[in-house]
Amino acid sequence: MAKEIRTRFAPSPTGYMHIGNLRTALYEYLIAKSQGGKFILRIEDTDQERYIEGATDIIYETLKQTGMQHDEGPDVGGDYGPYIQSERKDTYLPYAKKLVENGAAYYCFCTKDRLEEIKANSADKVAGYDRHCRDLSKEEVEAKLKAGTPYVIRQKMPLSGKTSYTDVVYGLVEIENSELEDQILVKSDGMPTYNFANVIDDHLMNITHVVRGNEYLSSTPKYNLLYEALGWDIPVYIHLPPVMKDAQHKLSKRNGDASFQDLLKKGYLPEAILNYIALLGWSPRDNREFFTLNELVENFYIEGLSKSPAVFDIVKLRWMNGEYLRNMDPDKYYALALPYLKKAVASPDIDLKKIASLVQGRADTFMDIAPLIDFIDALPEYSTDIYCHKKMKTDKVNSLENLKAVLSLLKGIDKRDWNEEKLHDSLINLASEKGVKNGQIMWPVRTALSGKDVTPGGAIELLYILGKEESLARIETGIDMLEE
């Protein structure tokens, strides 16, 4: 039986979940789930300085909202815990010491000042640490240790040769060992660096596929050297291209680019966001674009992953969100839209469900609803110019005439008969009696009722929504304005 696929999402709790991060989680989830594997959540909080309170809750919450449930993690447990790196602090040092013993790592007593100095002096010559402590004698090391000198443990890179590996999406990657810095494995506070903790944890947690952003592409050989020194199997690597804000800037929290949470606040659906970002860097075998999370699992295949950066296009997300909204069950739509409808319409007698049905086909996000129906509570000020419409063949003169006719017609309709069918038949009749196009009646009515040149729904719907009293009042206002 083939080994079970295990992937992990390993965010550091430093704030909101940004889109690139979420997409990485998605692909990790899909890679595992499409092959019947496990998806693990691990919190990488080895940098206490950057820790932000509440950030882990956002991570849990986001995973829940998107439906990407992890099989193991700090909140759900599992056989490989703890799943928070700060709680595993003691597990790393022994491995570092083992590396020191077998010559793959060494103690370094250089002060931060000294390091800064080399950095400043070396300009753009050799990158990184100058390996000052690499060849200290055993005695020197012992003495310093005994004296309590602060130290870090660094990885001892080979000075010559190359290290290569095959990435699933990028193919063969080969780096000269001389390019590799003697990176720090254990910091002076005793905490491991990401570089070290990552390797240890991935191995200890049986992670088979390491999936992460391609900024690690050229440092991966360092990790492989670590795996080898420890005598461990090297995992499968899948590096992902970045999600961009524009052609040259990555999407990032620092620039305040949209996070998942922001998009939700802006009225986007979690499932639409997920669907959209799935397609940013991956494409299915056919031309399908709409997928639920489960459908993504069914259709996912690793070869569909792309290696070039993708620009996040909010315009297309809007469209896709709109499609989700339009295809939603009307009752569900009503339930989700209700808070937004209530905020936009204060009048208590308004049929919000009717409004929901009008707005469902027109609003791409929930935030788009309010501006569409801002005329309901009160008639806005408007210019009579909008009564003129070329295609409807309306102008101020015939609008006035038709509005008057409509007014007296509507006055005759009993309040109890004030429904769309009745209103529709009456107005259509009026048009044919007068021998004019329907639009010549409808357009001025719609205009008088809304004071806008664009509305969700036409004259009939607006008459119904506004009710007899309000409708008549607004039409009278329109007549007054046109008579001036």
Partner RNA sequence: GGCCCGUUGGUCAAGUGGUUAAGACAUCGCCCUUUCACGGCGGAUACAUGGGUUCGAAUCCCGUACGGGUCACCA
Q: How far is the CB of 473 from RNA (least distance, A)?
A: 19
Q: Residue 391 or 415: which CB sits closer to RNA?
A: 391
Q: How far is the CB of 273 from RNA (least distance, A)?
A: 14
What are the strands, taking DSSP E only, across 123-226?
152-155, 162-167, 171-176, 184-186, 209-213
Q: Residue 4 or 435: which CB sits closer to RNA?
A: 435
Q: How far is the CB of 3 from RNA (least distance, A)?
A: 25
Residues 6+ apart with CB under 8 A from 1: none
Q: Residue 83 or 282: which CB sits closer to RNA?
A: 282
Q: Residue 1 or 172: which CB sits closer to RNA?
A: 172
Which backbone phi and psi does 403 adopt, to 5 degrees? -65, -40
Read out DSSP for 199-241?
Answer: HHHHHHTT--EEEEEGGGTTTHHHHHHHHHHHT-PPPEEEEEP
> Tokens for 414?
């009993």
Sheet holding 249-250, edge to edge: 249-250, 243-246, 310-311
Q: How far is the CB of 451 from RNA (least distance, A)?
A: 12
User: Could you count the other beta carbons within 10 Å of the beta carbon of residue 292?
Assistant: 12
Cα–Cα separations (whole angstroms), residue 105 to 96, 203, 453:
7, 18, 73
Read out DSSP for 340-370?
Answer: HHHHH---TTS-HHHHHHHHHTT-SSGGGHH
Active site members? 253
Cis preceding-peptide flag for 82 (omega within 30 of 0)? yes
- Residue linked to tokens 């240890």: 200
CB 108 within 8 A of CB 132: yes
> Tokens for 197?
């903790």
Q: How far is the CB of 15 from RNA (least distance, A)?
A: 12
Q: How far is the CB of 1 from RNA (least distance, A)?
A: 28
Q: Residue 3 or 427: which CB sits closer to RNA?
A: 427
Q: Residue 127 or 159: which CB sits closer to RNA?
A: 127
Cα–Cα separations (whole angstroms), residue 111 to 108, 117, 152, 194:
9, 10, 10, 20
